[in-house]
Structure 1
Amino acid sequence: MELAFAMERIAILSLFAILTSANGLRNLKLAYQWTLIDYDYPSEEARQKDIDKQLFQPDEVEPFDLDVYYKGSERKIFVTTSRYCPHIPATLSTVTNKTRNGNRVIKPYPSWEWHRDPEKCRRNSLVSVYRLFIDQCDRLWFSDNGRLGDDWLCPPRILVFDLKKDELIHTYEIPQEQHKNVSLFGTIVVEVEDPSNGCANSFAYISDYDARVLLVYDLKKNRSWTVSDYSFWPNAEYSTFNVEGKSFTTAVSVIGMALSPPGKERILYYHALSNDIEGWIYTKYLKNESLFSEPFGQSKLFHVFPHERKAQSGGEYMDSHGNLYFGILPSAAVVSWKANTDPESYQMGNFKIIDRDDETLQFPLGIKVRRNERGEEILWVFSTVLQRLISNTVLFANQTNLRVLYGKINDFRPYSTD
């Protein structure tokens, strides 16, 4: 036991030494960067009106996630700006070619009308969105929490858009007994069972940051249920963050989720932001509602790797070859791991550094892998300064507060592309 502990500690120290020496590694390229976020208003008068009414305050707009949609040679970048406060005029947008003060302007999606008067709870309206998922069927999925700051305006919903037409094709109101006005639905991943035979057989897995459960939604049956396990919970030891010299404490549950590639038995990997463990479960169990009729009744179905990261981590995603990508805090790094269910495989010594930079990768919150028009897999990283927001430090217009980075997976060769 002592020898095993010593070997693990050596592996951890070795990786952190490599992380430190790898500062400035350039496997990822810069696509976009912002000092402050601004919106594509129809006129200067409309923009100033929102500022005067305190509906828009640029130094409080902090994006949380991105996703990328390739349609032929066109590329559309989606970003979310959750309404954690009332000074954010739109919660879901796309990046435009327009600029203001050197920053790309974002355009509310699908239109400004969807983001106005959120308290009216219209079918064609949005309140607050945290994270996104684009599936193989050209559909954009997300949950709308229905919350403006701490105030509940509308029931939480799941929404699905057809990206070929930019039209809403499905909504689902989450039953009240599954949120009880204490939920904050965030990360979402979608499993399409057989895209070649249509896209109806789809399941969405959505983490509830506040209730610390996982919501499972069956599109075909139009039905949802919740799943609980101790591995979703934050750990007090990893609830204090130190990033960019700023220290803050927040207990956040599952934020990182990734699906294994199609074929065989699919696996959902997951981890809490305020924890250092990685868990996994076969999705065939999640899709069986009867298994979870009792809270914590099927803990044996969930697995946790025995070796920890010894660090916090934000978003994660898996490529088609089974390589899992995730950030390492506070090391300002993105790493990959050749995923499998061997309990001994998930440990520091088996992580490969993809990129490391104290300036550009301070808080890699969103990670996606998408295929471009040539079929190449591209790793996208949404690097934020979330630590400034949580520690109540305003975003300054004279410093870069947000970056979108990318890289071709075949260019930096993770552990396996077999």
Structure 2
Amino acid sequence: MLVAKVFVVLVCAATTVKAIAKLEEVFAWKQVTFTWPSAETEKIAKEEGDYEPKNNLPLGLARWKDKLFVTVPRWKSGVAATLGYVSLNEPINKTAAITPYPDWKAHILPKNDSKPDPNTLVSIFRVAVDKCDRLWAMDTGLADILGNPKQVLPPSIAIFDLNTDKLIRRYTIKSDWVSEDAFFANIEVDVKGDRCDEAFAYLPNLGSYELVVYSFQEDDSWRFKHNFFHFDPLKGDFNVSGVNFQWSDGIFSIALGPEEPNGYRTAYFHALASLNEFSVNTEVLQNQTLAADPHNYHLFKLEGSKGENSQTASSVFDQQSNVLFVSQQNKDGVACWNPKKPLNPQNVPLIIEDHEKLVFINDLKIDADRNLWILSDKLSHFLYRELSPEEVNYRILKIKVDDAIEGSICKV
């Protein structure tokens, strides 16, 4: 019995080490910097409190060609720019400065009682790149979230044409959906086939436990309410690298499965404070009538539990391998699941783990080359302790999807 247990431990350790060995650390910052117009501009920004390096924490990412977009939410004052990019052209500078996107002007917040420019980008948590070369950004519009919160602009979706770097649309979330508890920190984009107008954005409201669906073609939105969007009160206790805290975040991220012949997909979702994974077909989500139907409960499905301490902030689906990747906040790693198997702890193995480089994985993305990108940022330390400017705090790593699942039960 003891020999069998030792063998199992060694096999699991070997699998984990194998994945870690293939992780490529692309960027690593102690503190992020920006490509300022001049040294004098940066100096003035620091003097006036517009740039406080320690308050700039990268959180979301997305790749488009040679640009890797990075978001920096305005958790605290002194965030220079909430959306920017770093170049992936070789040779890559691992501590590269972030270039504000689409330009510096978009990130200048109004002072005193002046009115904001309607195209101002205030506080973006996550972004998505679609197959039509568009960047979708969910802007909360809320600045200095942990200090003196100010709703500079209402929550909105900003959509950019990446070939021209022009803002092509800004859609404001309906005011009666923005309650005191509402918080939109994520966005997933679904384009039907090659019909770029037939695009939908799915916007989880983690604080009000709702899901907003936006239609690009109709330039309109509707919202779903469901019990599955709520957090599990027994699973809101987190311990990330020695930092203990309690959250009550509901529906948090959505990952889309392969497109079916009818153009729809399976959308997988979960609350952050939960161990369960759920699903719903996008045919349901894209039906505005069903959103208002009080009998839509059984159109949503419980897939199963990922297992103890498996709370997930970010997820992404690789359609070629048919594998869902989920971050594991309490485990400093990434797990996987192939929907061809029942969702239970045995079928959701931890395939990547690193207690130094993967402390609080905040975003996962898969690019057109099927690289799995991972952003870790020690968010729990940032919120509840202090980050040391002498240590690497923020990392962006990548691994080929096929390498990540090699040897695991997820590869079917």
State the partner residue of 2:394.
402
Aligned equivalents of 2:250 and 2:388: distance in 1?
29
Alignment match of 1:255 (pick from 252, 255, 260): 252
Contact 2:231 2:271 in 1 (8 A): yes
Aligned-pair CA distance for 1:67: 0.5
Partner of 2:300: 302
Q: CA deviation at 1:42?
A: 1.4
CA distance in 1, matches of 2:225, 2:121: 28
Specify whether residues 145 and 84 from structure 1 end up closer, same or farther in structure 2 by C-alpha distance, changes over 3 A only. Answer: same
- Provide the C-alpha distance between the structure 2 equivalents of 1:180 and 1:15, rounded to a whole number of angstroms: 48
2:4 is matched with none
CA distance in 2, matches of 1:220, 1:102: 40
Equivalent-residue separation in structure 1 for 2:107 and 2:10 (angstroms)? 44
Q: CA shift at 1:17, angstroms?
A: 9.5
Among 378, 382, 389, which residue is 1:385 paired with? 378
Of 367, 388, 391 in structure 2, the residue corresponding to residue 370 of structure 1 is 367
Residue 286 of structure 1 is matched in structure 2 by: 285
**Counterpart residue identity of residue 211, structure 2:** L
1:122 partnered with 2:117: yes
Q: Is the 8 A contact 1:60 1:394 kept in 2?
A: no
Q: Which residue of 2 aligns with 1:152?
A: 151
Which residue of the other structure, out of 18, 26, 34, is the alignment partner of 1:31? 26
Deviations, residues 293-338 of structure 1 (Å, cap 9, x unaligned): 15x6422111112334222112010012221011223221212211
Q: Is the 8 A contact 2:128 2:189 kept in 1?
A: yes
In structure 2, the CA distance between the partners of 1:23 and 1:330, relative to structure 1 (3 Å rule), is farther
Partner of 1:351: 348
- Pairwise CA distance, 1:182: 4.1
Could you tell me which amino acid in structure 2 is paired with residue 176 of structure 1? S
Matched, 1:203 2:195: no
Determine which of 23, 30, 35 is the counterpart of 1:40: 35
Is 2:333–2:350's contact at 8 Å kept on the other side of the alignment?
Answer: yes
Q: Note if contact 2:26-2:94 (Cα within 8 Å) is conserved in structure 1.
A: no
Indicate how the Cα distance of structure 1 residues 381 and 262 shifts in structure 2: closer, same or farther if over 3 A, else same: same
| Structure 1 counterpart of 2:71, from 68, 74, 80 | 80
Structure 1 residues 284, 249: closer, same or farther in 2, change over 3 A?
same
Mark the runs of 5 or more structure 2 residues left unpaired by the alignment. Answer: 1-7
Q: 1:301 and 1:396, CA in 2 relative to 1: closer, same or farther beyond 3 A?
A: same
Counterpart of 1:194, as a letter, is: G
Higher relative contact order (CA 8 A, sep 6+): 1
Contact 1:317 1:324 in 2 (8 A): yes
SS in structure 1 at match of 2:234: helix
CA RMSD of aligned residues (A): 2.6
Summarize the Cα distance change of 1:256–1:19 in structure 2 as closer, same or farther, 3 Å threshold.
farther
Offset, 1:256: 2.4
Residue 18 in structure 1 maps to residue 18 in structure 2: no
1:177-219 C-alpha deviation (Å, 9 max, x unpaired): 2224542211111111121xx3001110011122221110011
Is the Cα contact below 8 Å between 2:347 and 2:410 reproduced in 1?
no
Instruction: Give the secondary structure class of the aligned counterpart of 2:68.
Output: strand
Rate the CA distance shift 1:126–1:15 in 2: closer, same or farther, 3 A: farther
AA at the equivalent of 2:69: F
- Mapped partners of 1:48, 1:270: distance in 2: 44
Q: 1:67 aligns with which of 56, 62, 65?
A: 62
- TM score, norm. by length of structure 1: 0.87
Indicate the SS of the match to 1:231: helix
Partners of 1:194 and 1:401 in 2: how far apart? Answer: 39
Identity of aligned residues (%): 27
Q: What's 1:10 paired with?
A: none
Aligned residues: 390
Unaligned runs of 5+ in 1: 1-13
Relative distance call for 1:95 and 1:120 in structure 2 (3 A) is farther
Change in 2 beyond 3 A, CA 1:113/1:266: same
Q: Cα–Cα, structure 1 residues 190 and 351, in superposed 2: closer, same or farther, change >3 Å? A: same
More moved, 406-415 vs 181-190: 406-415
* Aligned residue runs from structure 1 range 173-188, under 5 A: 173-180=172-179, 182-188=181-187
SS at match of 1:59: helix
Q: Decide whether aligned partners of structure 1 residues 327 and 351 sit closer, same or farther in structure 2, where only a CA change above 3 A counts.
A: same
Alignment of 1:186-335 (within 5 A): 186-195=185-194, 198-264=195-261, 265-293=264-292, 297-311=295-309, 312-321=311-320, 322-335=322-335
Residues 77/58 of structure 1: CA separation in 2 closer, same or farther (3 Å cut): same
TM-score by length of 2: 0.88
SS at match of 2:98: strand
The answer on whether the counterparts of 2:315 and 2:364 sit within 8 Å (CA) in structure 1 is: yes
